[in-house]
Structure 1
Amino acid sequence: MAFTEAAQPVPAPDEVLIRVEAFSPNRGETFLLEAPEPGLLPGKDVAGLVVQAAADGSGPPAGSRVVGHPPMGGWAEYAAVPTHSIAVLPDGLTTVQAASLPLAGITALRLLRAAGAVTGRRVLLTGASGGVGHYLTELAAAAGAEVTAVTATAERGARLRELGAGAIVHGVDETDGLFDVVLESTGGDALPAALDRLVPDGLLVWFGQASRTPATVNFFDLLAGPQNAVIRHFHYAGPPYGPDLVTLVRLAAGGRLHPEVGRTADWSRTSDVLVDLRERRIRGKAVLTIGASR
């Protein structure tokens, strides 16, 4: 990674121009850097100040503090963001906290909707110590689910327990009993192992492959396992993102959702942070700041 100069983005009529005060990289974005396409401008999670309102009159006025989820280009001093993908920030929420919300928080919200009603149900969550996992744990527990979180270390498990997880394990093979819903983001051997722990008619939502190891599901093993199991592929994407951002901001500002920011650093440290994020050395989210973030 190296810094370079780029032209300040010119917003479309339905976009605001944000002076970025904080941005949050995601582990999946680091994979794009292995073989980047020409002109790649990464960055989907930003927070800062609107310096140019949308020409079509939509969105907040200049001077508003906002969080945004642009399609690209957020690792920069300025970002153009569609007005349907931003939310205004209250005074009680910092830009560092806000920048950690978009991709991980939206994913968590939409995963819970895909899972359906979870009140009183047993939910197994793999890869729980990442950005999505922390939000999922807290949101699912608040909705009345009995959450078992899979994480690698006792330290990370302690924090997940504080956020509402009822049980912490360090591998799917350590789980106790069967689950109504599995939210699986690891891939590899973890997916078939988690699938085997579903109740009859249970649901497994597959939303990632953090291990980067392909999963193999043997039909005959499945036939001997849970009856009528449902495996659902999930992808969070699909604007508008604004309504979900408004929900996340409201919950965070009200103390009902706690952004887990495991690393905050000046954007001059972007390369170091990306390496640590990729190697899973950061609990929850990482946030890079530009100038005097609030």
Structure 2
Amino acid sequence: MKAFIPTWDPAEPVVLADVPEPVPRPDEVLVKVEAFSVNRGETFKLERPAPGDRPGKDIAGRVVRPAADGSGPSGVVRVVGHPMAGGWAEYAAVPSGALAVLPDSVSAVRGAALPLAGLTALRLLRAAGSLIGRRVLLTGASGGVGHYVTELAAASGAEVTAVTRDAERGARLAELGAAEIVHDVADARGPYDVVLESTGGAALPVALARLARRGTLIWFGQAARTPVTLDFFGFFDGPESAVVRHFHYLDADTGLGDDLAVLVRLTAEGRLHPEIGRVADWADTATVLTDLRDRRIRGKAVLTLP
């Protein structure tokens, strides 16, 4: 079959190659991939790939071989899946617990845009706790995660301030429920009960200073790709009893498949809107990856297979 493999060349980070079709484990299903999405974090990993790496975590397609152990879908059905690798290919082996059935009302393109960004947003907001009536500051809001966080948090009753340098993206985030748009975290007025910080670098201490008493900052990304320096003496002089928490989306008490099903249901009901900045044929994957890495795409990027 055909699949994308790393090249170690920043100008063309992947190339289409012939590879063996995956052999599913007993608890995996074989999916014929119809669409996959790429994430900016994956572009960073492609800068230093390990030998044998097969990228790709977000897919949508059709089950062509059910799991041998009887778990997961038993027939040929449309699904969205979140394998840990190997998704940028004609076929992917996906653990039966890491997929959800797609209804006819949700296209493969929209389904493929859900897994990594949607799971991150859903689990991030669960980590933040009840948001009814709480003030939330979200940095790096222009990306795929930011759009989902904004819409879900606003629907949960939060007053969201979204940070984005892009005026057009800011207008869209306001449509999704953001109460206020600022173009620099330094312009956020605060104080905020919850800060969701995805930028790192110089932005994190600025965002931290805007916490309310007993507020929580959840650090879930490092988009700036520069080290963070925190003055803990200044922190102790700041908001009383504040909390700084690290977050990783795979550290959750719920299953991937269960949470994917939640995201699919919300999308089918028109309560969650995948923000897709580009849809292209999978032949253009290398170009899309460099454009996403260099911030020429806002929202999700989805590639479709013939």
Query: Does the alignment reach a TM-score above 0.5?
Result: yes
Instruction: Identify which of 173, 180, 183 aligns with 2:186.
Output: 173
Equivalent position SS for 2:178: coil
Equivalence map 1:2-151=2 (5 Å):
2-151=15-164
SS of match in other structure, 1:183: strand
Specify the alignment match of 1:279 in structure 2. Answer: 294
Q: Can you list the C-alpha shifts for 1:152-200, whole angstroms capped at 9, x where unaligned?
A: 1110000000000000001111112310000000001110000000001
Contact 2:190 2:212 survives alignment (8 Å) = no
Find out whether 1:241 has 2:256 as its counterpart: yes
Indicate the SS of the match to 2:16.
coil
1:240 deviation in Å?
2.8
Equivalent residue letter for 1:139 = L
Cα distance in structure 1, aligned partners of 2:284 and 2:74: 32
Q: Which amino acid in the other structure matches residue 14 of structure 1?
A: D
CA distances 1:79-99 after superposition (whole Å, capped 9, x unpaired):
000000000011100000000
Provide the C-alpha distance between the structure 1 equivalents of 2:291 and 2:168, rounded to a whole number of angstroms.
17
Question: Using the alignment, how far apart are the partners of 1:51 and 1:231 within structure 2?
Answer: 45
- TM-superposed CA distance for 1:211, in Å, is 0.6
Q: Is the Cα–Cα contact under 8 Å of residues 33 and 59 in structure 2 kept in the other structure? A: yes
Structure 1 partner of 2:237: 224
- State how far apart, in whole Å, the 1-side matches of 2:136 and 2:45 are: 31
Give, in whole Å, the separation in 1 of the partners of 2:301 and 2:220: 20
Q: TM-score, normalised by structure 1?
A: 0.98
1:111 is paired with a residue whose SS is helix
1:207 — aligned with what? 220
Partner residue of 1:250?
265
Alignment partner, residue 288 of structure 1: 303
Partner-residue secondary structure (3-state), 1:24: strand
Q: Deviations over 1:110-136 (max 9, x none)?
A: 000110001100000000010100000
* In 2: Cα distance, 1:243 partner to 1:152 partner: 34
CA distance in 2, matches of 1:283, 1:243: 27
State the shift of 1:61 in Å: 2.6
Once the two structures are superposed, residues 259-284 of structure 1 have per-residue CA deviations (whole angstroms, 9 ceiling, x without a partner) of: 00100000000010000110111111
Gaps of 5+ in 2: 1-13
Q: Does 1:267 align with 2:282?
A: yes
Structure 1: 4+ residue segments shifted above 3 A: none
- Amino acid in structure 1 at the alignment position of 2:166: T
Whether contact under 8 Å (2:162, 2:182) holds in the other structure is yes
Deviation at 1:224, TM superposition (A): 2.1
- Does residue 1:185 correspond to 2:198, yes or no? yes
8 Å CA contact 2:109–2:304 kept in 1: the answer is: yes
Deviation of 1:249 after TM superposition, in Å, equals: 0.1
Cα shift readout 1:191-223 (whole Å, capped 9, x = no counterpart): 000000000110000000101011111012112
